[in-house]
Every structure is written in structure tokens, then in C-alpha cells.
Amino acid sequence: MKNRQLSIAMVVTLLLAGCGGAKSDAGDNKPSAGSKGTVKLAINPWVGYEANADVLAYLLEHQLGYTVEKKNLKEEISWQGFETGEVDAIVENWGHDDLKKTYIEEKKVAVEAGPTGNTGVIGWYVPQWLADEHPDITDWNNLNKYADLFKTSESGGKGQLLDGDPSYVTNDEALVGNLKLNYKVVYSGSEAALIKAAQQATAQKKPLLFYFYEPQWLFAKEKYARVKLPAYSAGCDADPKKVACDYPDYKLDKIVSKKFADTGGAAYGLIKNFTWTNDDQNLVSDYLTNQGMSADQAAEKWVKEHESTWKPWIPAGS
């Protein structure tokens, strides 16, 4: 029935828009204001993100009485959603200064809504058993010594460094060149491919050097060791071509659409106040991935057990 009303609303919109032409957000006239409306959350494709979104969605629905629409979108496309009105909030953003520039500064369709409290770590990893076998492998200085271990059909005689989804932030090509490593960056193309490779490396005891990141549910299942690269110092990654240092820690944050920030009321307040730890997120991720819980079940379990964490998020007066 909701849909039918929506359709009628849209016919009206079409007619009204008739004289002035249709803007790209025409038809998205659902109130995102405090009238207990619908909140459209982007769901980016990794489980940690979903943990944030699921808990927020649960609280929005059960504590504040909103309806939540989850939209499965890649990062870049979620940002486009601010413009079209398809997305109200992104609840775990990794940097993306270029997108902030476009959508927040230039187009003015989005605003920042504070950190999530999580720290994002990007780095190079090997399976724990390999680090146990060769303890010095976790120092980048020794990587060339082990290049042969990491040779594959794709690496053209060099060692292979497996990278992930192309949407991820990476300096690996530059790092390999600038650190004079005898390695070739091979792009797995997706998080799934990366995880499969890592799992196989553990299960089959195959050496693997790969790009990965935390928080990530895989760490709750299997152990991987991080390879130490030259330490990060502010500005050492300023020129992407000359990078020769490790990745910085990312302060993950939330972004919401301008419209939502202006009219989102309690829902916006909740999202703005939301902040928790990596452990919190990993716990929910684990419920989701390894305990076979649905989004709702996982969120419910966490919310039941962590009232003191989320109580302060609820905006006063709602």
C-alpha cells in the first residue's frame, strides 16, 4: 500500500514538475524530517560497515520509530546517492578526501557527521603460520629474501603482492617501486577474492602476501600477521608517486546528506552521536558472518548487552 501512495505522489510530482523540468531528485519527496519517516542508509560492501549500519538501523527502528531502507552500494556510488536523494547517510567512511571535496565543498549536498570511533588500519599481511615459520618475514627489509615464496602464475617471476577491490585506498604500486621490492602487485578485484585467497593460504599453508585492513571479521576467525613498512609520518604520503612509508591510521567517520542534516531530526542526532570501538564492531561482524545471524538478530543481541554504550547516542527529548 505504501508503494501505491508513493506512485500517486509521483504522478503528482510529474505533473507539478511539468512546467519547470525535472530535477534529478524529483520523485524523492518522502519526508526525511522528524515525522518518523524513512531513513535511507547506504550499505558499503564490507561487514564492518554493516555492523555499524545494522546497529544504527535497529536503534532507529526500535528506539526512535523510523523506517530504515538499506541500499547496497559501493562507496563512490553511495556518495552519488546524496545528490539524488537515494542516500541519507554513510556510516563508515574511509577518508575519501576527493569525494568530500566534490560533494561537501563543491556541490554542498553532504556534510560530515563526526567520527565512528573506529580506527581503520590498512597494511600488508601474511598468514600467521608463515610468520611463525619465518619470524623475520614481517619486516619489509627481508621481503626480497622471500620473494620466491610468493611467486604465482600471475606475478611474472617476481613475488606477488595481492591487492583488493579497486575501490580501496592503496599506494601499493608506488610502495613496491620506491622500496625496490622484487614484487608485482596483482589485483584480486574484490574483497571476496582477497578473503578467499587468504583463507586458502591458511587452510592449504600456501605463502601469501596481501593487502588487507582492520576492522575486518576475518581476523576474528583466523590469524594474520602485519608486515612492518617504514613508519608513517605526517605528510610522507603527500605525493602518491613517491610514497615510501606505511599507511596512516584512518579515523573513520560518518557522512550524511545536507538535506538529512537539516531535516533529519532525531534520526540525524542518533547517527551524529554514534561512536564505538573496533571491538564492538568486530563483535557484531562476528555475529553476522560466523554465527549465521541476520542483521536484526545481531543488532538486537548487541543492543541488549551494551545498553550503556548506546544510551548516550539517543538525542535528548526523543
Partner 1 sequence: MTAVLTRPTSDVAEPESPRRRATGRTVSGILIVATVVAYLVFHTTAAADAPDAAAFRFLGDVRDWVDANRDTHPVFLYGVNYLRLGVRLLVDVVRAALAGLGLAGLVAIAGAIAFVLGGWRTALLAVAGLLGFGLLGLWPESVDTLALTLTAVLLSVLIGVPLGILAARVRWVGAALRPLLDVMQILPTFAYLAPMTLLFLIGSPAAVVATLIYAVPVTIRITELGIAGVAPSAVEAATALGSTRRQLLTKVRLPMARPTLVLAVNQTIMMALSMVVVTALIDAPGLGVNILRALERVNVGAAFDAGLAIVIMAIVLDRVTTAAARRRRRDWRIAVPVLAAAAVIAVLPIPDGLPRISFAKPVNDLTSWVELHWYDSTEGLKNTISTVLLNPLENLLVTTPWWLFTLAVLGFGLLVAGWRAALIAGAAAAGLSALGLYQHSMQTLATVLVATALTMLLGIAAGVLSARHDRLAAITRPVLDAAQTMPSFVYLLPAVALFGASRFTAIVAAVIYAVPPVVRLVERGIRDVPATVVEAALSAGSTPRQLLWKVQLPMARGGLLLAANQGIVMVLAMVVVGGLVGAGALGYDVVAGFSQREDFGRGLAAGLAIVLLGVLLDRLTQGFHRAKGPS
Q: Which residues bind partner 1 (CB under 8 A)?
A: 1, 3-4, 6-7, 10-11, 13-14, 17, 20-24, 26-27, 45-47, 71-77, 80-81, 83-84, 86, 98-99, 102, 152-154, 156, 162, 165-167, 186-197, 199-200, 203-204, 288-289
- Contact between residue 276 and residue 299 where contact means Cβ atoms under 8 Å apart: no
**Of 278 and 285, CB closest to partner 1:** 285
**Of 266 and 293, CB closest to partner 1:** 293
**Of 210 and 276, CB closest to partner 1:** 210
Of 69, 10, 66, which Cα lies nearest the Cα of 35? 66
Phi, psi at 69, each rounded to 5°: -110, 125
Provide, rounded to whole angstroms, the least separation between the CB of residue 230 and partner 1. Answer: 24
Provide, rounded to whole angstroms, the least separation between the CB of residue 261 and partner 1. Answer: 20
**Of 43 and 64, CB closest to partner 1:** 43
Q: How many helices (H) and strands (E) does the chain have?
A: 13, 9
**Of 84 and 277, CB closest to partner 1:** 84
- Contact between residue 197 and residue 188 where contact means Cβ atoms under 8 Å apart: yes
CA separation for the pair 286, 216 (Å, rounded): 9
Provide, rounded to whole angstroms, the least separation between the CB of residue 176 and partner 1. Answer: 14
Query: Cα–Cα distances in Å, from 183 out to 97, 152, 160, 269, 299?
Result: 29, 11, 6, 48, 42
Provide, rounded to whole angstroms, the least separation between the CB of residue 274 and partner 1. Answer: 22
